[in-house]
Structure 1
Amino acid sequence: MIRVVIADDQQLIRAGFRSLLEAEPDIEIVGEAGTAAEAVSVVTRTRPDVVLMDIRMPDGDGLWATEQLVAKKELAETHIVIVTTFELDEYVGRAIRAGASGFLVKDTEPAEFIRAVRVVAAGDALLSPGVTRRLLERISSQLHEAPDATILSAITEREREVLALVGRGMTNDEIGRELFLSPLTAKTHVSRIMSKLAARDRVQLVVVAYETGLVRPGE
């Protein structure tokens, strides 16, 4: 079972998420929270697989709560998805820096929402497609100097090829087809790259791919 905590200051939203997710046979809601502090407490106590975290809540915000939770070693296997009505770049950047594994807006289609929970629970990371594109454009525009490719010296040529495809948003299956590898081999390459580059998840690998110039907007 995928164990989920819902953190949102609106009870109606929490009830909607609960109803949607509990209808799935492999998902269980193990806690709810209406404030940032309560979210930290509930997640610390229940240690879920996935936290659906709102941004704007009383007594702080979801990004603050995310930072608190990511800092706890005992929650290393807990993945946080920021879910909000505010699809603003500044929130996306802060969410990634805080350690979130995903960012979704509340008007996401139900099927996509459920898929997101499963994807993050499996250890992958995601962003809403539109958010991803704007984030990458923003990262590119903020590179005031030539891209620093020295970061990539820690990985092999094959791993650079894999990283470039991760940067273009490809899944492990798609990377495998592109490079004539099995999905398991592609996944192994991605895991090794994350370890070598000290990246928390695929979102951070995408950022590295753009910041180093390995991938450029429009490619």
Structure 2
Amino acid sequence: MGETTTIHQVAVVEDDDVLRARLVQAVDAHPALDVVADFAGVRTCLDWLSEHSPDVLLVDLNLPDGQGTEVIAQAARRRIESVVITVFADERSVTAAIKSGATGYLLKDSDTEHVAESVLLAVEGQSPINPAIARHLLKHFAGTPAALQTDVDPGPLTEREQAVLTLIARGFSYGETADQLHMSINTVRTHVRHIYRKLEAGSRGEAVYIASNKGWIDP
């Protein structure tokens, strides 16, 4: 018998009816993804989230009744992954979404197949980020990997965990983090699990937010 494919539940938050339908169709077409709900605004999604826990949210930022960051923050508290899909690529929007708990950031010019694959990457613990967005992150979190050893109080984190989380905060993938720190990707994943446990965080975005606010990393 063949292996059973795990189906991950996805909710879509997008106010443009045509685009929302296209995103729902694209994500639903992926064999490992199932859209279980879609919303045109913040309030209806927040109400739904109070009783449901999908694996991933695909969220627009500029919605008619609020900001997508409200949804992202609620999802982070529920340990639900969020991938932003928006037309905004300015530094303020990018950093606000990441600090709210987003673990991926795509632009609306992304092809639909790429969107579905990015949602799946988020479920698998990676951070799908549009290259243009990565540039904004690098600009905001200015610094070089060589400068990771700082005098910042790491709090409950070890020196290596602090270095791993700092790179993740700067938008590096697990693979890139492993290369920069000369360790295996499995070691990076182990450090991330320890970080989540120590910070009582449910996502990379939440861990970065907690550690940044506490001054335990200097992104």
Structure-1-length-normalised TM-score: 0.74
The answer to whether the 8 Å contact 2:86/2:108 transfers is yes
The gaps in structure 1 that reach 5 residues or longer are: 142-146, 214-219
* Runs of 4+ more than 6 Å apart: none
Root mean square deviation, CA, Å: 3.4
Instruction: Give, in whole Å, the separation in 1 of the partners of 2:115 and 2:181.
Output: 28
User: What is the identity, as a one-letter code, of the residue corresponding to 1:175?
Assistant: A
Pair 1:175 & 2:181 matched: no
Q: Determine if contact 1:44/1:69 at 8 Å carries over to the other structure.
A: no
Select which of 92, 95, 120 maps to 1:93.
Answer: 95
Cα offset for 1:110? 3.0
- Pairwise CA distance, 1:191: 2.3
- Give the Cα separation in 2 of the matches to 1:115 and 1:184: 22
Cα distance in 1 for residues equivalent to 2:68 and 2:165: 30
Whether 2:20 is the aligned partner of 1:18: answer no
The residue that corresponds to 1:216 in the other structure is none
Change (3 A) 1:198 1:165: same
1:100 and 1:10 mapped to 2: Cα distance? 21
Q: Which residue of 48, 52, 59 maps to 1:53? A: 59
- 2:110 aligned with 1:108, yes or no? yes
Cα-to-partner distance string for 1:112-166 (whole Å, 9 max, x where unaligned): 312210111123334322212222212328xxxxx96323365445546645765
Structure 1 pair 197–127 and aligned structure 2 pair: CA distance change class (3 A): farther
- The normalised TM-score by structure 2 is 0.74
The answer for the alignment partner of 1:39 in structure 2 is: 45
The percentage of aligned residue pairs carrying the same residue is 25
Structure 2, gaps ≥5 residues long: 1-6, 144-148
Compare relative contact order (CA 8 Å, sep 6+) and give the higher one, 1 or 2: 2
When you count helix as a share of all residues, which structure comes out higher?
1
Q: Find the residue that maps to 1:108 and give its secondary structure.
A: coil
- Aligned ranges 1:140-159 → 2 under 5 Å: 140=142, 149-152=151-154, 154-159=156-161
CA distance in 2, matches of 1:172, 1:191: 15
